[in-house]
Amino acid sequence: MTDQTNSTSGTCCSGSSCGSGSTTDVQGIGITTVYKVSGMTCGHCEGAVSKEISALDGVSAVQAVAKTGEVTVTSAAPLDESAVRAAVDEAGYELVGQA
């Protein structure tokens, strides 16, 4: 009997078909959630948003992309969206919601 898990993607879903906005990393690293943020236009914006979200408890990685308006956050446990919203607001941008 062989293991039928999808070892190429490393997650429970492959892209937009999931719809939940977050996935559990099968390697035990944490939860990855993608948020949409409006107002980011450059690298400085990406850095400001990343810095504020990185300060939240349990966050281990943040990648902000101004071009797409997406911020990918890896955390030990699911984050309270109001805390993420407050962090994004503190950076001067608006959290639209989960992507």
| CA 23/CA 44 separation, integer angstroms | 28
Q: DSSP 3-state assignment of 71? A: strand
Question: Model confidence over 38-61: pLDDT tens digits?
Answer: 999 999 999 999 999 999 999 999
Domain at 90, CATH number: 3.30.70.100
pLDDT (0 to 100) of residue 29: 73
Which H/E stretch holds residue 50?
Answer: helix 43-54
Q: How many domains does the chain have?
A: 1
Report if residue 31 sits inside a domain.
no
Question: Model confidence over 70-79: pLDDT tens digits?
Answer: 999 999 999 9
Share of the chain above pLDDT 90, in %: 71
Q: DSSP 3-state assignment of 19? A: coil
Report if residue 73 sits inside a domain.
yes
Report if residue 9 sits inside a domain.
no
- Higher-pLDDT residue of 90 and 23 is 90
Q: Is the pTM of this model over 0.75?
A: no
| CA 7/CA 30 separation, integer angstroms | 17
Report if residue 63 sits inside a domain.
yes
* Chain Cα centroid distance, residue 30: 11
